[in-house]
Chains A and B, each alone.
Chain A
C-alpha cells in the first residue's frame, strides 16, 4: 500500500559529454523551482515573496539528496545587487546545455564594457561608481553571445514549464537521432549535437513560433513576474 503520492520517475537520455550530464541535472532543478505547485506559486516565487529560503528547503521531500538540496539552496539565494555573476554557474537551459564551461575570464562582453569604463574619466568617485553600477545592470540585461543570446538575467531566472517540455522533447529527438550513431570522437559527438540543437531551436512549431522564441518569451515573463513580486514585497 502506498499512502504518499510522491512518485519517482526514471528517465534515460543520450548526452554527448560528461559535462552536459551535470548541466542537465542543474537545468532540471531550475525548471522544477519555477514549476507552480498546488497553491499556484512556484518555489522560486515563494522565496522571492518571502525572502525565506529555509521554508522552501523544509518543504522538500526527505528523499531529496544533500547535493541537490545544496544546489537548490544556492539557486534560491538572493540575486546580487550589481552584476549577476552567479549566471556563470547556472545551466542556461536547453539552449546552453552542451556549451563547454566558460567563466568570467573569457567573458569578452564584460571585459570590453569594463575596459571602456576604465578608459573614461569621471568628475568624482560618486559618478565613477554610478557609471560602474549602470554598466553592471547593462551587462545583466544584454543578450550574451556565449549564452545563446540569453541575457544573464534570463539565465539567472531559469527556465519555466514550456521550456521544460521543449527540453524533454528535444532530448527525446536527440536520443532517437543519435543513440545508434557511431562517432569519430567525443568532440565529434559534441559538435554534431550542437548542430542538431541549433537547427532544432530555429524550427517553427505548429503554432508558428520557434523553440528559441518560446524560451526567450517565457524567461522574460518569469523575470517580469519576479519584478512584480519583489515590488509587492517592498
Chain B
C-alpha cells in the first residue's frame, strides 16, 4: 500500500502570518508601556484610538453601551488595530477586523476606520457600502463615511449619487481634517463637472481643495487642464 504523503494546508500558514502581525503589534504596545488592565482599558482605548473629539465621544458612547461585553481583551485588540492603522498595513487591518473585532458588538466608528481598506484592498464594494451607510446613520457628524459613499457611487457609475454624498461630506469635514477636506472638495468639483459641464464651478471647487492642501498634485494638474485644454483626468 502506497504511503500517503501529508499535504500541508495553507490555513496554518495564514494563521502564523496573522499571529506574526499580532506579535509585532504587541511589541509596539509593550514598548509604549500601554498594557491594558482592568483599571485602565477604557482610558487606553480612548486615548490611543481616537484623534478628535467626535471620535472620542462616539467610542466612549460605544464603550458605555457595551462595557459588559468588552474589556481588557477588547482594548488590546483595539490597540493592535491602531498599530496596524498607523502602519497602513491593509492586509493586517482587514484580517484583524474580521478575525478579532467583528466578534464584539458592531461598532460604526471601527467600521468607519477600516472600511477604506476593505474597499480599496479587498474590492468589497457592497460590503463597504453597507458599512458606510451604517456609519453615516450612526455617526452623522463624521465626514469620512459620506466621502467613502461618494467614492463608492462614483465607482458604480452613479455620478449624481456620488455628488450628493460628496456634498454631505463637504458639509461635515472640519479644517483639522485638511487632507480629507482637499479630497472631498476635489472629487466634488470633478462630479459637478461630469454632471453639469460647468468649468467655472469646477475651477472654484478645485481651488478650494488646494486651499486645504496646496501641494495637491492632482488638483494642480486638473486646474491647469481646466484653464487650458481640458480633458478628463484620473482620480
Contact = CB atoms under 8 A, between A and B. Distances in A.
A5 interface: no
Given A100-B126, A202-B194, A184 B90 contact: yes
B4 interface: no
Contacts of B232: 199-200, 202-204
Contacts of B235: 195, 199
Interface of B: 90-91, 119-126, 153-161, 194, 231-235
B147 to A, nearest CB: 15
A148 interface: yes
Secondary structure type dominating chain A contacts: helix
Given A147-B157, A149-B157, A202-B232, 9 more contacts: A96-B157, A100-B126, A145-B158, A145-B161, A184-B121, A185-B90, A187-B119, A188-B120, A190-B125
Interface centre among B122, B123, B160, B232 (most CB of A within 10 A): B123
B130 to A, nearest CB: 9
A160 B91 CA distance: 41
Contacts of A149: 157-160
A196 B123 contact: no
Nearest to B123: A187
Interface in A134-150: 145-149
A70 interface: no
A198 B153 CA distance: 11
B74 to A, nearest CB: 27
A22 interface: no
Contact of A187 (B124, B153, B231): B124
Interface residues of A, number: 31
Contact of B122 (A99, A106, A187): A187
A95 B123 contact: no
B158 A188 contact: no
B157 A95 contact: yes
A74 B99 CA distance: 41
Nearest to B235: A195
B118 to A, nearest CB: 8
A186 B233 contact: no
A190 B121 CA distance: 9
A190 B124 CA distance: 9
Contacts of B91: 185
In the A-B complex, the 10 residue pairs with the smallest Cβ-Cβ separation, listed nearest first, are A187-B123, A148-B157, A145-B158, A190-B123, A187-B122, A203-B232, A194-B155, A199-B234, A145-B161, A202-B232
A61 to B, nearest CB: 35
A95 B157 CA distance: 8
